[in-house]
Amino acid sequence: MLNRIRRGAVISLLTMGVLATGVPAGPAVAGDIVTANHVVVHKAQRKLYLYNGNRLLGEYKVALGLNPVGTKERERDFRTPEGRYYLARRNTRSDYFLSIQVSYPDKNDELRAKKNHWAPGGSIMIHGSPNTPKHPATYYASNDWTDGCIALSNSDMVEVWLRTQDSIPIDIYP
């Protein structure tokens, strides 16, 4: 049976003020929303995919770290990690429009960084646009601009937020 979020969860997010100003506050969803049990990111394609089993639920354009080629190795390398991680926790009050933490660094990442006498970095998130933008909206829509996170448009971030739960795997490929 598919995991589902009830319509009430959408209404709760609306009443908590999660949606950006100007988004209609009328009925957001008709019926249930099928939730994902797996997230896949293909960095080279700049795409994030949501799956429930083999069923593709959604495909989203993403922006990555400023230095997107290669896996994240250390703090301030501006790379997005590669490998299998998990969605860890959610934050409605981040510096970005919603954020979902990715479980980077894992034990292997920490060991590799320690071996090289580096700090592995952390706080890798899936998130929307900055709440206080430093550039025009077109910049965020057409460039890699994060410190290593996976960024979506705010409207796509709402959908990913509603269609995922903590602890599901996220596979990030080159």
Residue 101 to residue 83: CA distance in whole angstroms: 15
User: What are the backbone dihedrals phi and psi of residue 126, each rounded to the nearest 5 degrees, phi first?
Assistant: -100, 125
Contact 40, 55 (CB under 8 A): no
User: Which pair of structure tokens corresponds to residue 75?
Assistant: 């703090």
Superfamily name with CATH number, domain 4-173: L,D-transpeptidase catalytic domain-like (2.40.440.10)
Domain boundaries, the chain: 4-173
Residue 107 to residue 91: CA distance in whole angstroms: 24
Q: What is the pLDDT of residue 31?
A: 56
Q: What is the pLDDT of residue 5?
A: 45
User: Which pair of structure tokens corresponds to residue 159?
Assistant: 């959908």
| pLDDT band, very low/low/confident/very high, at 173 (cuts 50, 70, 90) | very high
pTM over 0.85: no
